């Protein structure tokens, strides 16, 4: 999670500036699958991700994880 402390709690209200900062300090995926596509490591409850689509920034919180396949 970049430079964030282990005790950091994402479950708050954030400004656009905060969301941009989280995105900019995050870590990119570096694992690839057999098709050479970037994939996440195993996702666990409590994990969080930041993302961007165009000019929109997102925080994604993993509240439940169900293993398939």
Measure the CA angle with vertex 35, ends 32 and 40; round to 5°: 30
Segment 27-48, tens digit of pLDDT: 888 999 999 999 988 899 988 8
Angle at 43 between CA 65 and CA 35, to 5 degrees: 115
In this predicted structure, what is the pLDDT of residue 36? 95
| Average pLDDT over the chain, rounded to an integer | 84
% the chain with pLDDT above 90: 36
Mean pLDDT of 17-35: 90
């Amino acid at each position: 999670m970049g430079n964030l402390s282990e005790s950091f709690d994402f479950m708050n209200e954030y400004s656009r500036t905060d969301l941009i900062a989280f995105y900019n300090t995050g870590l990119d995926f570096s694992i690839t699958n057999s098709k050479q596509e970037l994939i996440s490591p195993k996702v666990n409850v409590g994990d969080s991700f930041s993302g961007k689509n165009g000019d929109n920034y997102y925080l994604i919180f993993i509240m439940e994880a169900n293993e398939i396949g």
